């Protein structure tokens, strides 16, 4: 006889057991019908999920987006049916993409029957914006862990910024379900280390230690004592020996809620596929159990063997009432508190309103710097840093930092303090040398109303590729600042000189990658990034000084908004020169020399491919006139992608190899990034056309 979950709810004990087994059987049936998915973890963790939601989680099913709700993150995103079953049984109501309550179930039983099918609210892994109740998109293991640290940081910042005596607007907690795979991924260790340093006592990770992965038992590759690792991070580490022991698990959560000086890590030992003939095996992990095994499992649960997607009478009502009775009261109390807060602190209330809408405060553009012409110029990292600090003075919820590189990336916010355990209102984040976690944490902050930025060298975008991609998938307005953008890094050599990185960022759907060519283009780039509400931005900035163009001679930098624009042009041009970033001034120099020789050329600044592609055909043809086939693109990065703009008869001066360690001038000479080389290439193209 299976050991059923212990409960401590007296008369409701039978309904509690029924609810837990409903979660299990819904997961089994959904995966079986889809012939795809992961049944074992939902079966094992059903008692944990049920206990957490029914006894502790602060959510209101009727208003699931109220600001001070607890956040629940399923970092083990492959176990999505656990979350969908919880959302369904809890009776969470849908909020659409515009923030409007529809009155419809967030996840209906029909949605569960359509698990992993086209157009369903139950995709294979939880997707933010697709399913109400999903706080973040998870699936790539470890990302939810990183997101949760950002959410916990955001709560601390929001509490420090908004809370006043008698008016507590923010005091919520963040819960995460994570597994062995999450713990193997480096991003979780990076994030956990920072969370321990910051003493985020509002953060609780629940670690499902089932010791099974897709290849088999985790002893194949993972034998460390994870609890001791987290003790070394400074976490409060607790153990629950059996996932079915709901009383022990409840005591662990009570201990978390009583801990005020560190985050909590609850190690829960479970048996994957509990109750199934395939229990404690990789066969219960990532594939359907099979019809025979499901019948046997339902028999072991005392479940009707001939019923699928069965929700016994009273189960959903019981679960909903357990959650709603607490959540509704807390939400109504919060709304009453906020109404009083709005009367007492109208300006601060307006800030919170704007943050929730993704809006900017009035006057956010006031006092932003513009830059006078200067042939010596300034590095775009420098000019962008000045603009960032000016923006920070106008936008109080602009918060972020660097992976231990702020002196180099110029992203330290001056006079706004550092976010630390004893200063949670600080606005400069110190992520440490943790690029991967930094990106995931920034995403979590964006999911909690803050407008975050995260900075590192462009070559290290490799270390945070996953969160950049997920920011694009989730449509999060995170600004990723990437400096030291080319062989212009110089003496640090090929390990630090990005070549292929621009192509990979530009290839990411929904990511606005902007490479400004001078200080005023950098200012425009930041203004575009901070305006975003549903799209992340990547700002690509130089280490070396770039001449500040004379905008009385050349077109206004506001053209950045259209992705590409005509910077200068002769009448009836016979050649188009295209430049971005540090190569824009190089192209301008070639243009001036060619003009002196009587060559009719046009200069196009193209800082953002994605924005240019959004323009109508008339504008695109105005900038890149179809009849002009002599086109030369110059960029200190890889050539991939430029063919779409230069055409079959055009050329590029780009990088086809990695760089080298040398002073910049020597590198430019070696790889052909000189005015003379650009002019020579342009002349040859014109002769060819003739």
Please answer whether residues 124 and 143 qualify as being in contact, where contact means their C-beta atoms are separated by less than 8 angstroms.
Answer: no
Distance CA 478, CA 467 (A): 10
> For the domain 374-548, what is the CATH code?
3.40.50.970
Per the annotation, does 139 bind a ligand? yes
Q: What is the pLDDT of residues 137-173, one digit of tens each?
A: 999 999 999 999 999 999 999 999 999 999 999 999 9
For 564-609, the three-class secondary structure string (H helix, E strand, C coil) is: CEEEEECCCCCEEEEECCCHHHHHHHHHHHHHHCCCCEEEEECCCH
In the block, residue with structure tokens 């086809």: 656
Residue carrying the six token digits 């890149």: 624
520 is in an annotated binding site: no
Of 258, 276, 238, 202, the closest CA to residue 43 belongs to 276
Assign residue 672 a region: left if phi > 0, alpha if psi is -120 to 50, beta otherwise?
left
For the chain, give me the number of helices (H) and strands (E)?
24, 22
Mean per-residue pLDDT, 447-464: 98
Contact of 653 with 633, CB cutoff 8 Å: yes
pLDDT in tens, 620-633: 999 999 999 999 99
538 pLDDT higher than 90: yes
| pLDDT tens digit sequence for 79-136 | 999 999 999 999 999 999 888 999 999 999 999 999 999 999 999 999 999 999 999 9
3-class SS string, 535-563: CCEEEECCCCEEEECCCCCCCCHHHHHHC
The count of other CB atoms within 10 Å of the CB of residue 140 is 18
Q: At what angle do helices 519-531 and 380-394 cross, to 10 degrees?
A: 40
| In contact, 240 and 252? CB cutoff 8 Å | yes
Q: Could you give the CA distance from residue 435 to residue 431 in angstroms, rounded to a whole number?
A: 8
- Is 543 annotated as belonging to a binding site? yes
CA–CA separation, 514 vs 30, rounded Å? Answer: 43
Q: List CB contacts of 347: < 8 A, sequence separation 6 or more.
A: none
Contacts (Cβ under 8 Å, ≥6 apart) of 122: 30, 80, 81, 84, 107, 111, 112, 114, 115, 116, 131
User: Range(s) for CATH 3.40.50.920 in the chain?
Assistant: 557-687
Does 285 count as an annotated binding residue?
Answer: yes
Confidence (pLDDT) at 74: 98
Residue 492 annotated as lining a ligand binding site: yes
pLDDT tens readout for residues 328-385: 999 999 999 999 999 999 999 999 999 999 999 999 999 999 999 999 999 999 999 9
Owner of token pair 């400074």: 234
Residue 554 has pLDDT above 50, yes or no: yes
| Token pair for 455 | 């900075």
> What element of type H or E holds 480?
strand 479-483
Q: Which residues contact 130 (CB under 8 A, 6 or more apart)?
A: 121, 123
119 is in an annotated binding site: no
Angstrom distance (rounded) from CA 94 to CA 90: 12
Q: Which helix (H) or strand (E) holds 312?
A: none
* pLDDT value, residue 321: 96
Sign for the CA dihedral angle at 391, 392, 395, 401 comes to positive
Residue 212 marked in a binding site: yes
Which residue has tokens 């992965």?
213
140 assigned ligand-binding residue: yes
Residue 261: Cβ within 10 Å count: 9
Tokens of 316: 């959903």
9-13, 239-243, 466-470, 605-609: segment of lowest average pLDDT? 9-13
Confidence of residue 490 (pLDDT cuts 50, 70, 90): very high
Q: Which residues are catalytic?
A: 435
Please tell me the CATH superfamily of domain 15-330, with its number.
Answer: Thiamin diphosphate (ThDP)-binding fold, Pyr/PP domains (3.40.50.970)
CA gap 589, 581 in Å, rounded: 14
Choose the weakest-confidence range: 66-70, 394-398, 410-414, 682-686.
Answer: 682-686
Q: Is 381 annotated to bind ligand?
A: yes
Q: What is the DSSP letter of 434?
A: -
Is residue 181 a known part of a binding site? yes
Cβ atoms of 269 and 242 closer than 8 Å: yes
- C-alpha–C-alpha distance, residues 538 and 536, integer Å: 7
Q: Distance between CA 380 and CA 210 in Å, rounded?
A: 50
Run of H or E including 495: none
Is the domain 557-687 a CATH 3.40.50.720 member?
A: no
Q: What is the DSSP letter of 304?
A: -
Instruction: Return the SS3 of 675.
Output: helix
How much is the pLDDT for 4?
A: 55
Domain with CATH 3.40.50.970 in the chain: 15-330, 374-548
Q: pLDDT by residue (tens digit) across 128-137?
A: 999 999 999 9
Is 210 marked as a binding-site residue?
Answer: yes
SS3 content of the chain, % helix, strand, coil (to 5): 45, 15, 40
Distances (CA, A) of 660 to 493, 497, 635: 5, 8, 16
Confidence of residue 11 (pLDDT cuts 50, 70, 90): very low
CB–CB of 445/425 below 8 Å?
Answer: no
Per-residue model confidence as pLDDT tens digits over 244-296: 999 999 999 999 999 999 999 999 999 999 999 999 999 999 999 999 999 99
Whether residue 245 is annotated as binding a ligand: the answer is: no
pLDDT higher than 60, residue 457: yes
Q: What is the pLDDT of residue 311?
A: 98
Report pLDDT for 5. 56
Q: Is there a binding annotation on residue 484? A: yes
SS3 400: strand
CB-CB contact of 653 with 677 (8 Å): yes
Question: For the sheet containing 174-179, what is the strand order?
Answer: 71-74, 174-179, 203-209, 264-269, 236-240
Q: How far apart are the two ends of the chain, measured CA to CA in Å?
A: 89
d(CA 600, CA 674): 20
């Amino acid at each position: 006889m299976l050991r059923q979950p212990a409960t401590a709810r007296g008369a409701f004990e039978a309904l509690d057991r029924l609810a837990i087994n409903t979660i299990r059987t819904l997961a089994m049936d959904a995966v079986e019908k889809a012939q795809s998915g992961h049944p074992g973890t939902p079966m094992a963790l059903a008692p944990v999920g049920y206990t957490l939601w029914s006894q502790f989680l602060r959510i209101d099913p009727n208003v699931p987006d109220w600001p001070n709700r607890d956040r629940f993150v399923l970092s083990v995103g492959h176990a999505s049916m656990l979350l969908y079953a919880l959302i369904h049984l809890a009776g969470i109501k849908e909020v659409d993409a515009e923030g409007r309550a529809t009155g419809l179930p967030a996840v209906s039983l029909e949605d569960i029957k359509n698990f992993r099918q086209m157009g369903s609210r139950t995709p294979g892994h939880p997707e933010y914006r697709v399913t109400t109740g999903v706080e973040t998109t998870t699936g790539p293991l470890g990302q939810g862990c990183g997101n949760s640290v950002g959410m916990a940081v955001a709560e601390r910042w929001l509490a420090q910024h908004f809370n006043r005596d008698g008016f507590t607007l923010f005091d919520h907690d963040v819960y995460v379900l994570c597994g062995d795979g999450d713990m193997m991924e480096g991003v979780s260790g990076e994030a956990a280390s920072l969370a321990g340093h910051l003493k985020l006592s509002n953060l609780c990770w629940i670690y499902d230690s089932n010791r099974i992965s897709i290849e088999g038992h985790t002893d194949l590759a993972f034998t460390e004592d994870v609890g001791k690792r987290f003790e070394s991070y400074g976490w409060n580490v607790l153990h629950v020996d059996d996932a079915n022991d709901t009383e022990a698990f409840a005591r662990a959560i009570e201990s978390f809620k009583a801990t005020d000086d560190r985050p909590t890590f609850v190690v829960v030992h479970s048996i994957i596929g509990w109750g199934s003939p395939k229990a404690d095996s990789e066969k219960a992990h990532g594939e359907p159990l099979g019809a025979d095994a499901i019948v046997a499992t339902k028999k072991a649960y005392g479940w009707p063997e001939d019923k699928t997607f069965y929700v016994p009478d009273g189960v959903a009502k019981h679960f909903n009432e357990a959650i709603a009775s607490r959540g509704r009261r807390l939400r109504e109390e919060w709304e009453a508190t906020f109404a009083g807060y709005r009367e007492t602190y109208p300006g601060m209330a307006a800030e919170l309103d704007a943050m929730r809408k993704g809006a900017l405060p009035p006057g956010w553009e006031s006092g932003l710097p513009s830059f006078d012409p200067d042939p010596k110029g300034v590095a775009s990292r420098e000019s962008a840093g000045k603009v960032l600090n000016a923006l920070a003075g106008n936008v109080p919820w602009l918060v972020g930092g660097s992976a231990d590189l702020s002196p180099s990336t110029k992203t330290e916010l001056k006079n706004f303090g550092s976010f630390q355990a004893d200063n949670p209102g600080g606005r400069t984040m110190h992520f440490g040398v943790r690029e991967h976690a930094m990106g995931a944490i920034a995403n979590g902050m964006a999911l909690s109303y803050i407008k975050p930025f995260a900075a590192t060298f462009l070559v290290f975008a490799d270390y945070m590729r996953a969160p950049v991609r997920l920011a694009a998938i989730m449509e999060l307005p995170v600004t990723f600042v990437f400096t030291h953008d080319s062989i212009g890094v110089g003496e640090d050599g090929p390990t630090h000189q990005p070549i292929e990185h621009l192509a990979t960022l530009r290839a990411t759907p929904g990511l606005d990658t902007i490479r400004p060519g001078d200080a005023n283009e950098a200012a425009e780039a930041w203004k575009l990034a901070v305006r975003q509400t549903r799209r992340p931005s990547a700002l690509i900035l130089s280490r070396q000084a770039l001449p500040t163009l004379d905008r009385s001679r050349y077109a206004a930098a506001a053209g950045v908004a259209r992705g590409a624009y005509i910077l200068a042009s002769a009448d009836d041009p016979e050649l188009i020169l295209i430049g971005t970033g540090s190569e824009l001034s190089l192209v301008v120099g070639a243009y001036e020399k060619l003009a002196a020789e009587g060559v009719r050329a046009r200069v196009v600044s193209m800082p953002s491919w994605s924005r240019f592609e959004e323009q109508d055909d008339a504008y695109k043809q105005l900038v890149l006139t179809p009849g002009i086939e002599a086109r030369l693109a110059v960029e200190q990065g890889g050539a991939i992608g430029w063919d779409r703009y230069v055409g079959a008869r055009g050329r590029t001066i780009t990088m086809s190899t990695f760089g080298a360690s040398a002073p910049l001038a020597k590198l430019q000479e070696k790889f052909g990034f000189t005015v003379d080389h650009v002019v020579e290439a342009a002349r040859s193209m014109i002769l060819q056309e003739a």
